[in-house]
Amino acid sequence: MLRKTYAFTLIELLVVIAIIGMLVALLLPAVQAAREAARRMICSNKLRQLGIAAHNHHDVHQTLPGYDYGPDNRDPNGWGLAKYSTFVALLPFIELNALAGQFHEQDTNPDNEYHNTAISDGTDGPNPILYQSMPMLVCPSDPGLHWKSRDIVPWWSGGDPGESGDGLHAASTSYMISSGDTVFSWVPPDSPGVGRGPFVSKEYPGLGLESITDGTSNTIMMSEHRISGDNSRSVLDVNVKDVSMSDGNWFIVCLSKEGPGREYYPGVQLDRQIGRNWASASSQSTSFSTIMPPNSPACTDDVNWTYYAGPTSYHPMGVFVLRCDGSVTFVSDIIDTGDLTQKPPTEGHSPYGVWGAMGSRDGGEAASL
């Protein structure tokens, strides 16, 4: 007697495969959203840890760390602000005492081969204290986590702008300090290293929390920025030099650079500097201002080469910011930025709405996020 055999028909099999495909299609976005939520939490926690470190620095030294500092031997080119970034000052307060000790040894030992090498110049070869990765200073949502400046001929020395890296041999950072609703400028007649935020240059007395008269909960200390990637052309990742930034239009011109895919306009300058060197007090590497709204282009004016950029991120619709009271909050891309036709102020209320008011430490505003 023959046994009856049961099997799927072709139509039944195709229906089952289609159902499985639909379930996978529904599940994948949920998995990606869960992963991004986890990355966002880690990113905000890292900012919070940096805020705690800044407060611990204040407890020990009675001031916040400076925008730049370091011995003159680390500035052999005489660039003025080519010093250590705020993050180097925070190393002992983020459990990186050994790395802080390596900086101290290079500074104090004349026989060290890097003793007279600028912290922003790696052309003599990879400096071991710069080249090692700094995961504490990188948001996990940023694909530039393991990116370092490559050992190639820098484009400003005649290299191909399309090549990857810039020859600085340095690890990257996606966290930046705030210069407030002005910028850290090094070209006269602007005051070098003086912003309206909580940090100033080593040339000036350090600021204590008591200097933040607008209130620590009403003043931004740090935020994040997308690290300039290999072979990047996006204005979110790099810097645009524009001749009309200083002719009265100011930041409206910068915002107009968005275009399809936020790509460069022909002829503007390539400058992959954002986040390229975590240890350098370069305004383009480790700072942002509260003028341009979050996730907008970065620009440099044609007169003083002054760098203007708000924070950017890979988080949808905004960025995380650290306030001076140590709290972290999410700021939308559409935050009020006031009148972007105005020049950066030197005193008084900020013309840049709630965003500018949150950047100034003593503008007399009581604005809050």
Cβ–Cβ under 8 Å, residues 269 and 241: yes
Cβ–Cβ under 8 Å, residues 279 and 170: yes
Q: Is residue 95 in some structural domain? A: no
Q: Is the dihedral of CA 327, 333, 339, 342 positive or negative?
A: positive
Classify residue 61 by its DSSP letter: H
Cross-strand partners of 319: 331
CA-nearest of 361, 241, 289, 282 to 70 is: 282
Q: Which amino acid is at 104?
A: H
Cβ–Cβ under 8 Å, residues 168 and 149: yes
Which band of pLDDT confidence, cut at 50, 70 and 90, is reported for residue 47?
very high
Look at residue 368 and tell me whether its pLDDT is greater than 50.
yes
Classify residue 137 by its DSSP letter: G
Which band of pLDDT confidence, cut at 50, 70 and 90, is reported for residue 247?
low
Q: Is residue 234 in some structural domain? A: yes
Which band of pLDDT confidence, cut at 50, 70 and 90, is reported for residue 29?
confident
- Does this model's pTM top 0.85? no
Q: In this prediction, what percent of the chain has a pLDDT beyond 70?
A: 70
Residue span of the structural domain in which 278 resides: 15-50+123-359
Which band of pLDDT confidence, cut at 50, 70 and 90, is reported for residue 164?
very low
Cβ–Cβ under 8 Å, residues 291 and 118: no
CA-nearest of 94, 72, 93 to 81 is: 72
As for how many domains the chain has, the answer is: 1
Q: Is residue 96 in some structural domain? A: no
Q: Is residue 147 in some structural domain? A: yes
Cβ–Cβ under 8 Å, residues 115 and 105: no
Q: Which amino acid is at 110?
A: P
Q: Is residue 248 in some structural domain? A: yes
Higher pLDDT, 71 or 166: 71
Higher pLDDT, 305 or 267: 305
Look at residue 330 and tell me whether its pLDDT is greater than 90.
yes
Look at residue 222 and tell me whether its pLDDT is greater than 90.
yes
Q: Is residue 4 in some structural domain? A: no
Cβ–Cβ under 8 Å, residues 185 and 200: no
CA-nearest of 366, 356, 312, 365 to 335 is: 356
Q: Which amino acid is at 238?
A: V
What pLDDT sits at residue 89?
A: 92
What pLDDT sits at residue 8?
A: 67
Look at residue 7 and tell me whether its pLDDT is greater than 80.
no
Measured between its terminal Cα atoms, the distance across the chain in Å is 82
Q: What is the mean pLDDT of residues 197-217?
A: 87
Question: How many angstroms separate the CA atoms of 133 and 284, rounded?
Answer: 19
Contacts of 308 (CB under 8 A, 6+ apart): 183, 245, 251, 254, 289, 291, 292, 298, 299, 300, 301
Q: Is residue 201 in some structural domain? A: yes
